[in-house]
Amino acid sequence: MAVLTKPAWVGVAIAMAVAVLLIINPAAISLSTAAIHFFKRFAPNPPETNSASVTIDSVGSGNATDGLNISPTHPRLFWNADRLAKARTWWGKHSYTPNSQNVNPFDPYDTLFACQVSNNPAWCDAQINWAVNLSEESCYRSVGCDSMRVYGEAVMLTYDWLYARMTAAQRTTIINNWNTWMNYLDTRNSWGNTGMPASNYFAGAFRTDFSLGVATLGDNSQASNFLNYALNNRWAAAINFNSLTGTGPLAGKGYALPYQEGSQYGRYSMNYYAVPLQASMMMGRDLGQETTAFKAGVLQTIYTTLPTQTVSRGIYDGWTWSDDENWIQGSNLYAGGGMQSRYYGDFMMAAAQHFPGMAIGKLARQWINTVNPNVGPMWKAVDSGGTTQVFSTLPLDYYASGPQFAFWRNNWNTSASALFLQMGQTFGVGHNHFDVGSFQWFRGGAYLIRETPAYSTTVAGYNSSGTVDGSSGYAHNVPLIGGLPGVTGACTDSNGIVQRMETRPGYAYIDANITGTYTNNVCGGEHPERGNVYARHVEREFIFFRDIEVLLILDRLQADSASRPKTFISHCENNPRSIDASHFVCLDGKQQANYTVLLPTAAALTTVNEAANGASCGKGACQYRLEINDNNPIGMQSYFLVAIQGLNAGAAAQAPTVQDGGASWTVTLDANHRVTLNKGMKSEGGSVTINGATTNLRSDVQSMTITDNGPMW
């Protein structure tokens, strides 16, 4: 099962990477000595319980622990009397036969729920036996124990929900096992710990610490320690990571917390927070209001979802980025890359129920009604419905300030143009592509431009020479210098630096200096082969004109020598068509992208079939790569100025032109749209003219905040 396995070499590589990181900066990923000594005082064996029956206590009847009023009886997590009664009514109309073999990540939840509302002894016994016999002995001391991450919470819910059905010996077995395993994970394993607050391993461990502490409190002498670590260490790290005013190197990475690990692994984190969000609120502490992380998670899910179902895949797709081995599986219920995946569905349903009176909750419910994702029975069974809010009440643009990702649209219609620009990279994760500076574009059900999603797969190399790692820049839409992209392993000298950004009714604009992602002289100078030794300056500037759907891109590039070639990369799902040396067309069904290369004046196009040369990128993922080359630069400093228009196939295209004004260029897109951009390696000044009104381009970064009503610019 893809979500639970990885090639052995990946684990070895991760272990080596962690070891290197510990040598470079041990404080960044290790726990404090005091915390380790604190956990070493844990008692080895828990006392047996004397509870004999299951009742539902009202919230507040138990002891307050870390701000939670925990009932002395079971179940404590997710259920109260009203919710359980509602679930049993739902079951009467929607009963099903669960797969009690628990072969996928959601089966334990579905079997457990079916047992809870039906009292079917066979299902209940199967669930208990699964929880008691699940062993992590061969895994818990590894760099990343996938099954602990995936199944820890389900075991604790089994302990809590089926408490009275279990024998004392069964409960003791679960407590002893998970005390050992989670103690090691919390105190001796840095992977997925507080130094990696955006990792899905972190989110999985948080929910297991939380549910272990709540479920076994009163039976387990270590329960409060796990709960404390969940809320005072892990949760504190998550809040600090998301906060724009936090402290330390992993602070201020906000407005993308659950998502930062990418289109595959980020959605796991989204899902992992669903039960703790709901359970903590029911116990008197609303984690969802202690940070903007989950509100941002709702919003980024909405902005990540493409405007309509893709023609090629017949599903609601989302932007791909970072490691993603499952995109090609499409609508697969659990592993596929579509937005209808249950990972998204459960989280968005939890958010709709958590914030029912706020715009955030109403927007989440609107997303559910639009996308119709798979949602787990336990969430459906307790849902009372609620009001929705149309997406058109949201701004057209969204900015995830931590990783510096921009999401742009021209409207909220199903035929809209939607763009995704990656001006930075993520931190505290563990999965990443080297794709800073990449951009993607979707219009009318088709990908005008997308990346080639990959994980441990290859694509044809530069100029169709050999094959290269699919996680490198070749599979994305980034500039090349000397035929090389940015850093291809380990670390970069810096993140991209967004220098200018603004959102306006007529256009969206962003500029970023991404030079630091091409070099690793500071962080990994002993491995020059991992960086681009030819790169001296790399800066990208994007302007999107909403009404005419034209994206103008200016690359300011400096190499180490005047003879070093430079390359502009973009991708087409189908083989592109050349009109002449400066004009190309990518056709995808009823949609097309028209490319006009304004600079350099003597560009040369090479089209690379990324599936060539024995590349391992999967069918449907591989594409055609446009390599627009400046093979004869006139100096170390070069410029690429490219206009791309999205339009219906066969429609009349714009004919952009550029005029050199000495210190600047003036680009005329049509009679009503003009841009002036100043020369130089640093973006300064410039203006946009639309329908006779001229606006100076903003010189700084326009801020955006997350509120209960959504993004506010």
Picking from 580, 624, 587, 619, the residue whose alpha carbon sits closest to that of residue 603 is 580
Q: Is 689 helix (H, G, I), strand (E, B) or coil?
A: strand
Q: Give the per-residue pLDDT at 335.
A: 55
Pick from 93-97, 150-154, 516-520, 617-621: least confident = 617-621
Mean pLDDT of the chain: 89
Q: Give the per-residue pLDDT at 334.
A: 63
What torsion do the CA atoms of 219, 225, 231, 234 make, to the nearest 10 degrees? -130
Picking from 325, 180, 198, the residue whose alpha carbon sits closest to that of residue 253 is 198
Between CA 409 and CA 545 the distance in angstroms is: 10
Pick from 313-317, 358-362, 591-595, 702-706: least confident = 313-317
Question: Quick one: pLDDT band at residue 474, thresholds 50, 70, 90?
Answer: very high
Backbone angles phi, psi at 564, to 5 degrees: -75, 120
CB 438 within 8 A of CB 419: no
Q: Tell me the one-letter amino acid at 330.
A: G
Total residues belonging to the chain: 713
| One-character DSSP codes across 618-633 | PTTT--EEEEEEE-S-
Query: Is residue 74 packed enough to be buried (19+ CB in 10 Å), middle (13-18) or exposed (0-12)?
Result: buried
Q: What is the model's pTM?
A: 0.90
Quick check: 10 pLDDT over 50? no
CA triple 281-285-290, angle to 5 deg: 100
Domains delineated in the chain: 1-252 (no CATH), 433-712 (2.70.98.70)
Q: Measure CA of the first residue to CA of the last residue in the chain; give whole Å.
A: 42
Q: Is 373 helix (H, G, I), strand (E, B) or coil?
A: coil
56: tokens are 């539902």
CB 669 within 8 A of CB 675: yes
Kindly give, in sequence order, each residue whose CB lies less than 8 Å from that of residue 19, ignoring residues fewer than 6 positions away. Answer: none
223: tokens are 């329960």
Picking from 645, 251, 239, the residue whose alpha carbon sits closest to that of residue 441 is 645
Of residues 87 and 267, more confidently modeled: 87
Question: Quick one: pLDDT band at residue 331, thresholds 50, 70, 90?
Answer: low
66: left (phi over 0), alpha (psi -120 to 50) or beta: left
User: At which residue do the structure tokens 């009404």 appear?
Assistant: 547
Question: What is the arithmetic mean of pLDDT over 463-483?
Answer: 95
CB 306 within 8 A of CB 315: no
3-state secondary structure 92-106: HHHCCCCCCCCCCCC
Give Cα 7 to chain centroid, integer Å.
22
Kindly give, in sequence order, each residue whose CB lies less than 8 Å from that of residue 500, ignoring residues fewer than 6 positions away. Answer: 509, 510, 511, 541, 683, 697, 698, 699, 700, 701
Between CA 371 and CA 352 the distance in angstroms is: 14
**Which tens digit of pLDDT belongs to each residue from 520-578?**
988 877 888 889 999 999 999 999 999 999 999 999 999 999 999 999 999 999 999 99
Quick check: 441 pLDDT over 90? yes
171: tokens are 């409960």
**Which tens digit of pLDDT belongs to each residue from 351-396?**
999 999 999 999 999 999 999 999 999 999 999 999 999 999 999 9
Q: Give the per-residue pLDDT at 336.
A: 62
**Which tens digit of pLDDT belongs to each residue from 98-107?**
999 999 999 9
CB 560 within 8 A of CB 529: no
Quick check: 317 pLDDT over 80? yes
DSSP, res 681: S
Quick check: 201 pLDDT over 90? yes
Question: What is the arithmetic mean of pLDDT over 415-430?
Answer: 92
Q: Is beta strand 497-503 parallel, antiparallel or unpaired with respect to 577-580?
A: unpaired
Quick check: 593 pLDDT over 90? yes
366: tokens are 């609107």
Query: Is residue 94 packed enough to be buried (19+ CB in 10 Å), middle (13-18) or exposed (0-12)?
Result: exposed
Between CA 268 and CA 203 the distance in angstroms is: 8
583: tokens are 């004009």
User: At which residue do the structure tokens 């077995």 appear?
Assistant: 173
Question: Quick one: pLDDT band at residue 6, thresholds 50, 70, 90?
Answer: very low
Query: Is residue 32 packed enough to be buried (19+ CB in 10 Å), middle (13-18) or exposed (0-12)?
Result: exposed
Strands (E), 223-272: none
| Percent over 90 (pLDDT), the chain | 77
| One-character DSSP codes across 245-257 | T--STT-S--S-G
CB 75 within 8 A of CB 56: yes
Strands across the sheet containing 398-400: 398-400, 405-409, 417-422, 439-443, 446-449
Between CA 507 and CA 548 the distance in angstroms is: 10
Picking from 433, 417, 413, the residue whose alpha carbon sits closest to that of residue 425 is 433
| Percent over 70 (pLDDT), the chain | 90
Question: Quick one: pLDDT band at residue 244, thresholds 50, 70, 90?
Answer: confident
Compute the Cα dihedral for 208, 210, 216, 222 and give only its sign.
positive
CA triple 512-516-517, angle to 5 deg: 85
501: tokens are 């950004």
CB 552 within 8 A of CB 610: no
